[in-house]
A and B are shown apart, each in its own frame.
Chain A
Amino acid sequence: MIRNWKSIAPLLLAATALALVSPAMAQTPPNILVVGQIAEPASLDPHVSTAANDFRIAVNIYDGLVRNTPGTLEIEPALATDWTISEDGLEYTFNLREGVTFHDGTPFNAEAVKFNFDRMLDENHPFASTGPFPLAFFFSSVESVDVVDDLTVKFTLNEPFAPFMSNLASPTGLIVSPAAVEQYGADYGRHPVGTGPFKFEEWQSNTSVVASRNDAYWGGAPPLEAVIFRPITDANTRVAEMLSGGIDVLLETPPDNVAQFRDDANYQVVEAVGPHVWYVMLNAKDGPFADVRVRQAVNYAVNKESLVNDVLQGTAEVSAGPIPPAFNWAYNEEVAPYPYDPEKAKELLAAAGAEGATLTFLVTEGGSGMLDPVPMGTAIQADLAAVGLNVEIKTYEWNTFLSEVNPGLEGKGDMAEMAWMTSDPDTLPFLTLRTAAWPAEGGFNSSYYSNPEVDELLDHARLSTDPEERGALYKQVQAITHEDAPWLFVANWKQNAVITSAVGDFELQPDFSLVLRDVTKQ
């Protein structure tokens, strides 16, 4: 037996040595971009997915009827070349781009568009079972989609709905190949077929998703030959993989590592503000936060500058209200964030008779858009302790957290962390601040905020098709909610990515997608 080992040992050593000596770290080849993603995608069916992680791949495989102009949140044509909106705001007619085919050869036409939306919206559609479609409510005002002719499609809404175009430009509006859905059924999410600049090649579970150049792309073939998305869930490992040359693009750099890359000439840190809000919901129904003075007091008591600069290392900006500045046309510049003023907070607490109150604070361990939720939670706890509020933190894993918080805070806590990223200024306030959005009504207003004036402004804003009028309405919403303080307004995230010096023309988009069609790599 021992004799065998003696002969195996050198073999093992030789194999090890071979592995060590042979060209150790092949650098990533030119024209092939390797992106270090934060997780394995759940699905590459853009109608099924809800995660920014999946959308970063999807926007490169698919096109929508319209899209956001790079670097902005303005709408530009994509698969639709132009469109008309009826006077009453109920009919949207799109002229479609001619000669476009899906990667599987299926022609893109009005029928295909109809198929896409019927699949999401009509429960009796033959492929409705290939869902669920969690974000289909983006299009819930669509009454019907009609084929006018091969290259003209008409959407009829049951009420005017201003966010319609921005929602069409969101990843949920991307157009999938009907033939591929018919072919793969429930497996479609692993066999995505679109019209985009890159064609899906393969998905090796937990190793990579590969997409190659679509030479026939209607907008001109992209410079990159292929893109490889690698899931690397552990943030430290993702950083190590970047430093060791295994990836070219690092997404969602941990705040502690940003400075290290910024100081290194081999790398470049790319940043972009996005429509993101990080806030703490305050239970306005019962407990100390039923008094608006206590809600305002916590907004004065928390040092948000220190939160974004020290805890988040400058990867976010202080937020002033429920509408992020990325929607510049709807953002109210005149509403300034609550300043850090512990004395003022103490006065308000004294006036409300809430000194020394004990509060329960629901905190998540991590989750989509939640940044660094535990350190942020404890920093808030410390600031509130300084003004005499006794905050008790309860932490939950993300999915558990959502199932605790989404049905409403009553009976569970006084405050809870939350973050949203949206495609339109309407989405977040409409789903979280209206009286009709209380959890019992099926909305996400878990803090039971209610102000009839805000309700009316929001209802009005989504009916108006005049952007200027809409913008003015959202600015009023911003001012009122700032005063009412249903939330502790904390931060707007600046998303970041690190690229190597070989990568060119790389830009992060305000809508959090990762558009790679113009990116180059030496």
Chain B
Amino acid sequence: MPAYIGKRLLAAIPVILGLSIIVFLVMKLIPGDPAQALLGSYATPENVARINRALGLDRSWPEQYVIWIGNLLQGDFGRSYILNRPVLDEVLERFGATLILAGASLVICSVLGILAGIVSAVRQFGWTDRIVTFFVLIGISMPAFFLGLVFILFFAVQWKLLPASGMYAVYGGGDLPDLLRHLILPAGTLAIVATGVVARLTRAAMLEVLRQDFIRTARAKGLSENKVIYRHAFRAALVSIIPVLGIQAGFVLGGAVYIETVFQWPGLGQMLVKAVSTRDLLLVQGGVLVAATVYVLVNLLADVAQAMLDPRLKA
């Protein structure tokens, strides 16, 4: 197993390196530059040139890339041009917020999705299955940002039960209940779409397993139905559910971009949207790199978990 993990980690390096080149190039190719954003409407060509020189943006692209990577290897992500603060500070701060949001949604969609999937598989074509399928379909087909606005309208504006935006109350907040209150709407919104997918795939996986011989054997041994389903069938189905959760982890990380904008959640997604529009090159590059690395690691984790459950995959 360590050899397998090591091999996968090594394979991730070229992926991340390639990604760094793509992000770098994309940011170079889109029009508009940081000097422009920094100077606002008052940017004369001379001033733009002066700032580009000061930021080292007048050097050749390969030179800029090499300098960036060189600094990166020494743990220096550079300074955000627009925010004028270290990229790493900003990215880590934002990433913490995104992890809370994405983590909570992942927990919600895993728990609800798997439970719903099992229930509807066990009672295939029964009324619970139909209800679950109905809601799953709604969840999958509804765009998350729209759902977010609907939730804000009812829970925050109409019933005044939950805050519409932010991560903490700006006064007297900052404790766990406060965080939870602010977390419910964005995490719930983000989880709903993912829950549908998890539920559907769990249902399919469970149905597949329930048809197999060893389940008949287990039943024949006289095991209780609960034990058959949860101990034997679910365990076997988990092998195909876990990679789905890995993919969903990536999905909620990506989905966080617009959910963070709708709910003003101070996370990485919101930061990236703003950083792209202000051409804050180093901040975009740093943010994307960190997000991509985490994405690769999460998938690695999912693969390792799957391999542990299914010895056939270890080779």
Instruction: Using CB atoms and an 8 Å cutoff, list the residues of chain A in contact with chain B.
Output: 1-2, 5, 8-9, 12, 15-16, 18-20, 22, 24-26, 28-29, 32, 34, 40, 42-43, 50-51, 132, 134-135, 137, 186-187, 189-190, 205-208, 210, 228, 230-234, 236-237, 240-241, 243-246, 367-368, 396-400, 402-404, 406-407, 420, 439, 442-444
Contacts and interface: CB of A to CB of B under 8 A. Distances in A.
A510 B161 CA distance: 38
Contacts of A43: 84
Interface centre among A134, A206, A207, A233 (most CB of B within 10 A): A206
Nearest to B188: A16
A244 B160 contact: yes
Interface in B78-131: 79, 82-85, 90, 93-94, 107, 111, 115
B153 interface: yes
Contacts of A15: 180
Q: How large is the interface on B (under 10, 10 to 19, 20 to 34, 35 or more residues)?
A: 35 or more
B85 A187 contact: yes
A246 B41 contact: no
Nearest to A370: B41
Contacts of A397: 32, 277
B157 interface: yes
Contacts, number: 180
A24 B38 CA distance: 40
Interface centre among B43, B262, B278 (most CB of A within 10 A): B43
Interface stretch (B44-52, B61-69, B245-253, B287-295): B44-52
A234 B262 contact: yes
A439 B165 CA distance: 43
Contacts of A26: 169, 171-172
B152 A50 contact: no
A404 B31 CA distance: 9
B28 to A, nearest CB: 14
Given A22-B181, A50-B40, A234-B261, 18 more contacts: A19-B184, A20-B161, A34-B171, A42-B83, A134-B47, A135-B42, A186-B84, A205-B93, A206-B264, A233-B261, A233-B264, A234-B264, A237-B152, A241-B166, A367-B41, A403-B33, A420-B41, A444-B44
A29 B277 contact: no
B198 interface: no
Given A205-B90, A245-B160, A19 B37 contact: no
Contacts of A12: 107, 111
Contacts of A228: 170-171
A403 to B, nearest CB: 5
Contacts of A132: 38-39, 47, 50-51, 54
B182 to A, nearest CB: 9
Contacts of A237: 152, 164-165, 262-264
A28 B169 CA distance: 10
A443 B32 contact: no
Contacts of A244: 152, 156-157, 160, 163-164
B32 A240 contact: no
B210 to A, nearest CB: 16
B234 interface: yes
Interface in B138-170: 149, 152-153, 156-157, 160-170
B44 A442 contact: yes
B165 A9 contact: no
A24 B162 contact: yes
A520 B264 CA distance: 27
A237 B147 CA distance: 13
B264 A232 contact: yes
A9 B36 contact: no
A402 B270 CA distance: 23
Interface centre among B36, B153, B172 (most CB of A within 10 A): B36
Given A28-B171, A244-B156, A402 B162 contact: no
B31 A403 contact: yes
A187 B237 CA distance: 54
Contacts of A404: 31
Given A240-B153, A241-B164, A403 B32 contact: yes
Contacts of A233: 261, 264, 270, 274
A32 B170 CA distance: 11
B111 A9 contact: yes
Interface centre among A29, A240, A397, A443 (most CB of B within 10 A): A240
Contacts of A208: 170
A399 B36 contact: yes
B304 interface: no
Interface string B295-308: 00000000000000
A42 B231 CA distance: 55
B255 interface: no
In the A-B complex, the 4 residue pairs with the closest CB atoms: A206-B266, A50-B40, A400-B32, A19-B180
B46 to A, nearest CB: 6
Contact of A368 (B41, B45, B161, B230): B41
Given A207-B166, A234-B264, A237-B262, A42 B82 contact: yes
10 contacts: A1-B234, A12-B107, A16-B180, A24-B181, A25-B162, A28-B171, A205-B90, A207-B166, A241-B164, A399-B33
A240 B170 contact: no
Given A397-B32, A406-B43, A24 B177 contact: no
